[in-house]
């Protein structure tokens, strides 16, 4: 089975030849478009029915070129904020194929979403009341094309990473479906005839596939209850995304393949695919993660004290890898080392290093105790599995200039071509984040 690592040294060598890694551009994010398209097509092949919308989670990777590629493959977009929803619209995704999810929407957010006609998943009963008022009293919203669902929590439990367990009773997302709460949630569907969808999402990364399947079963049982007590058919069932992938192996884990997920759903929840409902998925990390690699030049190597590991100083740390720096027990990326021209160094002697980033605090280490080929100044450190929740989580602390982003793909001659998705920011670009040059009285 092919992986995102196949042929990457050749890609890296061409990137160096083209000057994409240089003194003025010492780090770069590279995104494998061929691999990404294969992941998109794999999801579509497993869920091919025309009544299924695959809405890629923009929070995983919001780079415009990435979103555009997904759109070209027939994907919609899922936005976790009103800006992400409009980001998807700005890329030409149809309003009905844009899903607006957020646990904390303002009335202005809801007005904008209704006017745009995007699909809306509301989070709680208070938000439902705000939306109902808009639909009843705001003349601009009465004719909205938006369809509306409610996020419910199937309370299936969590996985190995507590930060991402949104399927427990303590989750901040949605309304829990328990013996004590079920009737209250059903009452919302009785009260609001405009509620025509049910949304679940149980988390991501570290969850076993059984929890996704169990959640879908609970969801469909709840849909049947809603239809029984209201006498109307639900239109949309959104089963979310969140399938795990791997940060430690070059290949995608077979137990989390889209085909395996579909087979398990077919067995446990066959009515999901009856054609009676519009089905929405919200895959993110599992689509984008392995398509991305971050490359940083090894700027310096410090080795002064006997018994202390040498330290590789690079241009990426907690600016790109917030979770990895603060929670290395949970997130640890694969790293490899190439020569300054991109050449393979696997035959060199091995040395154990700590890898430090460029930010001004002692905890800024991307990895510790990493065995690599013996490094030299100017070598290229490759951090793998950075296509999801790395580019999208960029931190402006210390005003480090963000890396440029290039998509790459094979061309008709069998070579590699690069497409600039995002140029490296200038100092002026980055400093705009910190506010107005001329503060104004308001």
Provide the CA 78 distance to its chain's centre, in angstroms: 10
pLDDT at 143: 78
Mean pLDDT to the nearest integer, 131-148: 85
pLDDT at 33: 98
295 and 392 fall within a common domain = yes
**Exposed/middle/buried for 126, CB within 10 Å: 0-12, 13-18, 19+?**
exposed
Tell me the DSSP string of 15-66: HHHTTSSBTTB-EEEEEEHHHHHHHHHHHHHHS--TTEEEEEETTT---HHH
On whether the CB atoms of residues 312 and 355 are closer than 8 A, the answer is yes
On whether the CB atoms of residues 286 and 256 are closer than 8 A, the answer is yes
41 and 85 fall within a common domain = yes
- Report whether pLDDT(416) > 60: yes
pLDDT at 2: 75
Rg (CA), the chain: 23
Which neighbouring-strand residues pair with 30? 293, 406
**Can you tell me the distance from the alpha carbon of 322 to that of 141, in angstroms, rounded to the nearest whole number?**
40
On whether the CB atoms of residues 382 and 303 are closer than 8 A, the answer is no
Q: How confident is the model at residue 157 (pLDDT cuts 50, 70, 90)?
A: low
Mean pLDDT to the nearest integer, 259-267: 97
Indicate whether 3 belongs to any domain.
no
- Report whether pLDDT(162) > 70: no
pLDDT at 158: 56
pLDDT at 169: 65
- Report whether pLDDT(409) > 60: yes
Q: Give, to the nearest 10 degrees, the angle between helix 82-90 and helix 107-116.
A: 20
Choose one of 268, 286, 304: the last residue of a domain: 286
**Can you tell me the distance from the alpha carbon of 417 to that of 72, in angstroms, rounded to the nearest whole number?**
19
pLDDT at 131: 96
Q: Which residue has the higher pLDDT, 321 or 346?
A: 321
Indicate whether 2 belongs to any domain.
no
Q: Which of 229, 287, 335, 344 is nearest to 56 (CA)?
A: 287
pLDDT at 348: 75
- Report whether pLDDT(401) > 90: yes
pLDDT at 5: 87
3-state secondary structure of 3: coil
125 and 86 fall within a common domain = yes
pLDDT at 167: 54
- Report whether pLDDT(163) > 80: no
CATH number of the domain at 66, please: 3.20.20.10
- Report whether pLDDT(183) > 70: yes
On whether the CB atoms of residues 358 and 313 are closer than 8 A, the answer is yes
Q: How confident is the model at residue 329 (pLDDT cuts 50, 70, 90)?
A: confident
210 and 340 fall within a common domain = no
234 and 379 fall within a common domain = no
Which neighbouring-strand residues pair with 149? 121, 197
Strand pairing report for 350-356 and 300-302: unpaired
pLDDT at 172: 80
**Can you tell me the distance from the alpha carbon of 107 to that of 112, in angstroms, rounded to the nearest whole number?**
9
DSSP 203: B
Could you give phi then psi for residue 237, rounded to 5 degrees?
Answer: -125, 115
239 and 360 fall within a common domain = no
63 and 20 fall within a common domain = no
282 and 313 fall within a common domain = no
Q: Cα separations (Å) of 186 from 174, 179, 223, 407?
A: 14, 12, 10, 46
Mean pLDDT to the nearest integer, 231-247: 94
Q: What stretch of H or E contains 354?
A: strand 350-356
Overall number of domains in the chain: 2
Indicate whether 280 belongs to any domain.
yes
Mean pLDDT to the nearest integer, 388-395: 92
Strand pairing report for 195-199 and 365-373: unpaired
294 and 197 fall within a common domain = no
Q: Which residues contact 133 (CB under 8 A, 6 or more apart)?
A: none
pLDDT at 207: 85
pLDDT at 168: 65
CATH number of the domain at 373, please: 2.40.37.10
Percent of the residues in the chain that have a pLDDT greater than 90, as a whole number = 84
Tell me the DSSP string of 224-258: HHHHHHHSS---EEE--------SSSSSPPGGG-H
pLDDT at 25: 96
- Report whether pLDDT(300) > 70: yes
22 and 64 fall within a common domain = no
Indicate whether 160 belongs to any domain.
yes
Indicate whether 39 belongs to any domain.
yes
* Side-chain-facing half-sphere of 223: CA atoms under 13 Å: 27
Indicate whether 442 belongs to any domain.
no
**Can you tell me the distance from the alpha carbon of 214 to that of 408, in angstroms, rounded to the nearest whole number?**
38
273 and 391 fall within a common domain = no
333 and 399 fall within a common domain = yes
Return the ∠ at Cα 278 (arms to 64 and 145), rounded to 5°: 70
pLDDT at 391: 87
Per-residue pLDDT of 350-373, as tens digits, reads 999 999 999 999 999 999 999 999
Domain extent for 49: 33-286
The mean of the pLDDT values for the chain is: 93
Tell me the DSSP string of 90-118: HTT--GGGEEEE-SS--HHHHHHHHHHT-
Q: Cα separations (Å) of 271 from 148, 221, 237, 265, 280?
A: 21, 10, 11, 9, 14
């Amino acid at each position: 089975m092919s992986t995102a690592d196949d042929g990457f040294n050749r890609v890296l060598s061409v990137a160096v030849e083209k000057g994409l890694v240089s003194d003025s551009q010492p780090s770069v994010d590279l995104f494998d478009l061929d691999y990404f398209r294969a992941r998109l097509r794999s999801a579509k092949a497993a869920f091919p029915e025309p009544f299924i919308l695959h809405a890629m989670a923009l929070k995983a990777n919001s780079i415009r070129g990435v979103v555009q590629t997904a759109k070209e493959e027939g994907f919609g977009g899922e936005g976790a904020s009103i800006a992400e929803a409009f980001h998807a619209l700005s890329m030409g995704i149809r309003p009905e194929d844009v899903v607006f999810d957020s646990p904390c929407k303002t009335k202005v957010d809801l007005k904008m979403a209704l006017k745009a006609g995007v699909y809306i998943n509301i989070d709680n009963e208070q938000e439902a009341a705000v939306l109902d008022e808009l639909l009843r009293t705001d003349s601009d919203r009465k004719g909205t094309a938006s369809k509306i669902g409610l996020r419910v929590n199937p309370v299936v439990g969590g996985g190995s990473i507590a930060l991402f367990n949104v399927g427990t009773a303590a989750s901040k997302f949605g309304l829990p479906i328990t013996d004590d709460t079920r009737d209250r949630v059903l009452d919302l569907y009785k009260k609001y005839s405009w509620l025509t969808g049910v949304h679940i999402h149980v988390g991501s990364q570290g969850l076993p596939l059984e929890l996704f399947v169990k959640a879908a079963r609970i969801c469909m049982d709840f849909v049947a209850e809603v239809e029984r007590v209201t006498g109307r058919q639900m239109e949309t069932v959104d089963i979310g995304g969140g399938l795990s992938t791997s940060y430690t192996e070059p290949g995608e884990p077979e137990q989390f393949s889209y085909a395996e997920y579909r087979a398990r759903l077919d067995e446990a929840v066959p009515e999901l695919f009856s054609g009676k409902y519009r089905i929405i998925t919200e895959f993110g990390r599992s689509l984008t993660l392995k398509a991305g690699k971050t490359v940083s030049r090894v700027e310096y190597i410090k080795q002064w004290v006997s018994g202390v590991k040498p330290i590789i100083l690079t241009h990426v740390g907690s600016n790109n890898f917030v979770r990895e720096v603060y929670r290395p027990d949970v997130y640890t990326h694969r790293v490899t080392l190439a020569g300054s021209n991109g050449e393979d160094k696997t035959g060199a002697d091995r040395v154990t290093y700590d890898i430090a980033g460029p930010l001004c605090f002692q905890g800024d280490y991307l990895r510790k105790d990493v065995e690599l080929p013996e490094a030299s100044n100017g070598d290229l450190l490759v951090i793998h599995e950075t296509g999801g929740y790395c580019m999208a989580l960029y931190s402006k602390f210390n005003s480090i200039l963000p890396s440029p982003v290039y998509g790459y793909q094979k061309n008709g001659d069998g070579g590699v071509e690069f497409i600039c998705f995002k140029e490296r920011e200038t100092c002026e670009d980055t400093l705009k984040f910190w506010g107005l040059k001329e503060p104004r009285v308001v």
